[in-house]
Amino acid sequence: MDIKINAKGHPNQERLFEYYKKRLTEKFKKFRFLVTVETEIGREQKGDAKVALKVFPEKGNPIYVKSSNVSEHVAFQDAIRKAERQLERYKEIHYKSSHKNVTR
């Protein structure tokens, strides 16, 4: 799985990249069908932190989630939670569903 992080103008870029890559790898390693995870970190006009994740699975369309909060950490955790929920549904449809796996 390839992880790309875009955090223009963010202080402590090296530590941020290291932390985000570690957390994203931990959270998404169970989804073996993922090809790429793109992360964008920024600020909204009202000053809240914004975290957006774009996840590219092997099959189908990319999954896009975003979250904003006063705390960047909370926004990041919320975006991961949203992505995990969608990836579980994706996994069920494309890889586990009994009606999809029946051979005739």
- What integer best gives the mean pLDDT of the chain? 89
Domains, the chain, in order of start with CATH, read 2-96 (3.30.160.100)
What is the average per-residue pLDDT within 66-89? 95
What is the average per-residue pLDDT within 37-52? 92
The pLDDT of residue 99: 55
Amino acid letter for position 66: K
The pLDDT of residue 98: 57
